[in-house]
Amino acid sequence: MRKKQVILLMTDTTRKDMLGCYNDQMKTPNLDALAADGIKFENTYSCQPVCGPARSALFTGQFPHSNGMYTNSLAMGDNIKTLGQRLTDNGVHCSYIGKYHLDGADYFGLGKAAEGWDPDYWYDMRCYLEELTDEQRIASRKPETSYESWMTEDFTYAHRCVERALRFLENNRDTEFFLTLSLDEPHGPCLCPEPFNHMYDGFKFDYNPNYDDDLTTKPLMQQLWSGEDMQKPGSELNKASDGLSLFLGCNSFADYELGKVIDKINREFPDALVIYTSDHGEMLGNHKLQMKNAACYKEIANVPMIIRGGEKGKTVTSPTSHIDIVPTILDYWDIQLPKVIEGKSMIPMIFDTTIATNETVFTEFGRYEIDHDGFGGLQMMRAATTERFKLVLYLMDTDEFYDLENDPYEVNNLINDTEYREIREALHDRLLQHMNETRDPMRGYQWAVRPWRTDKKETWINDGYTRQRENEEYEPRQLDYDTGLPMDQAIRLKTTNDVKA
């Protein structure tokens, strides 16, 4: 019987238009070939466009508000299980090589294998740094190192991760396994050797109208985030620079390194299910913004995704989400989906791309990082996206609504346009339902009673329901507050025996 084997390939901070299969100006031949041999997804969304929270959803199948990692540098709950833990408990050999960012530590990690992953191959960023001298560590964090004559590919984190992944594949030909190879590249400091370090010198992206988005109809937070760039013309924000060249060069370098693994998979593991994605993107001056933060713009939230192992040479435009990766892989191994999983299996779609996994996908934001407030602090955001429309709610700010067919660059905020009232409010109801279904701890009347939504009643009661957690694979059934006995239903109208004053 054929062994089932799954390889998840990841890069960090790769926009969708940084792959040649989405934008022919980019040089990523290995991932492009993977897409040509599989399925390219046009509308895959990150669950939160920040490293740790994005990965938490991707590896648990639960949204950041459910698994507890709503920001960088915050660990998930003890009762949250990753895909590696679940698969290991079902007899699948699991190995994680590369950036992890799920242990609540600093950017580099703890240097030791997390539960469920083979310690013989574990190699987070702290493991890499501990191989270096102090001088090399400092050099490894400087973009300028890319131009030093001594700096070659074997110094980079990507290269060393790939070497381990190749060794894992060599040693596990006849085992059922799940391998994650998670590069930090092209995330800064963007280390890459020749010829990649100068590959994009003089390059700039094609102009589009959102470089000149004046943000006047957008949330105040975006205007503050933009800072002095709000006053700059788009031509000044979209221009060639050494920083952009190195970032894109490092992205092509990551493709080169991944190509070694893809080549081995093609030759020796042709039946493996292969998934490629990135945790989030980068604004790069679009909408006069840099980096990523509390927004759901395509540049940071609409990530690349490729899956090979089902239909070939297909493109899917219906919405998909990182939240669907865990249930997809569990379903691939015929493992019953736990009740706490909040996504859907894409297996039917992978083998028949006419089947849509979702009508709507969801993205959120809590805060960027708890270690410092240099990225705006608390910014509560919830978003719902369909193939054509996008609604973004900011609990303490102006909301957004976009018609992606007529405004693909998300410039014209239609939140107060009465012509879209019916569509907008239906999507709003769907988002509120999602917050209830996933027990979003931040749900409340404030999300429902928006300035543009006149039919919602102001009440402090949020639907009047008790919604308890069901994680019965790894913890006992929760108890009913009124009886102390195991709950009959997890979702039920709230009643209590509290003594009233």
Q: 187 catalytic, yes or no?
A: no
Q: Which of 430, 390, 433, 381 is nearest to 413 (CA)?
A: 390
Taking a C-beta distance cutoff of 8 angstroms, is the pair 431, 391 a contact? yes
Indicate the DSSP class of residue 123: B
| Type and span of the H or E element at 363 | strand 361-367
Residue 224 to residues 70, 376, 401, 407: CA-CA distances in angstroms? 22, 9, 20, 24
What is the average pLDDT across 5-9?
Answer: 98
Cα 158 from Cα 167, distance rounded (Å): 14
Residue type, 324: D
Q: Which of 350, 319, 306, 355 is nearest to 45 (CA)?
A: 319
What is the average pLDDT across 46-58?
Answer: 96
The Cβ of residue 33 has, within 10 Å, a number of other Cβ atoms equal to 18
Confidence check: pLDDT of 501 > 60: no
The tokens describing 343, both together, are 């996504």
Q: What confidence tens digit (pLDDT) does each residue in 97-115 have?
A: 999 999 988 899 999 999 9
Q: 296 catalytic, yes or no?
A: no
- Residue 102 confidence (pLDDT): 92
Indicate the DSSP class of residue 81: -
What is the average pLDDT across 424-441?
Answer: 96
Indicate the DSSP class of residue 369: B
Sketch out the chain's domains with CATH numbers: 5-365 (3.40.720.10), 366-470 (3.30.1120.10), 471-501 (no CATH)
Residue 422 to residues 269, 417, 433, 436: CA-CA distances in angstroms? 49, 11, 17, 21
Taking a C-beta distance cutoff of 8 angstroms, is the pair 27, 307 a contact? no
Q: What confidence tens digit (pLDDT) does each residue in 247-279 have?
A: 999 999 999 999 999 999 999 999 999 999 999
Q: What confidence tens digit (pLDDT) does each residue in 139-172 have?
A: 999 999 999 999 999 999 999 999 999 999 999 9
Taking a C-beta distance cutoff of 8 angstroms, is the pair 207, 239 a contact? no
- Helix count and strand count (H, E) for the chain: 15, 14
Cα 111 from Cα 213, distance rounded (Å): 43
Q: Which of 294, 291, 287, 295 is nearest to 215 (CA)?
A: 287
How do strand 5-12 and strand 177-186 relate by DSSP bridges? parallel
Residue 216 to residues 230, 329, 413: CA-CA distances in angstroms? 10, 43, 10
Confidence check: pLDDT of 497 > 70: no
Cα 315 from Cα 387, distance rounded (Å): 14
Confidence check: pLDDT of 461 > 80: no
Cα 390 from Cα 500, distance rounded (Å): 44
Cα 480 from Cα 476, distance rounded (Å): 13
How do strand 177-186 and strand 361-367 relate by DSSP bridges? unpaired
Averaged confidence pLDDT in the chain = 95
Taking a C-beta distance cutoff of 8 angstroms, is the pair 51, 70 a contact? no
Place of tokens 């100068």: 198
User: Catalytic one among 21, 47, 94, 101?
Assistant: 101
Q: Which of 38, 17, 36 is nearest to 26 (CA)?
A: 17
- Residue 310 confidence (pLDDT): 97
User: Catalytic one among 51, 192, 250, 296?
Assistant: 51
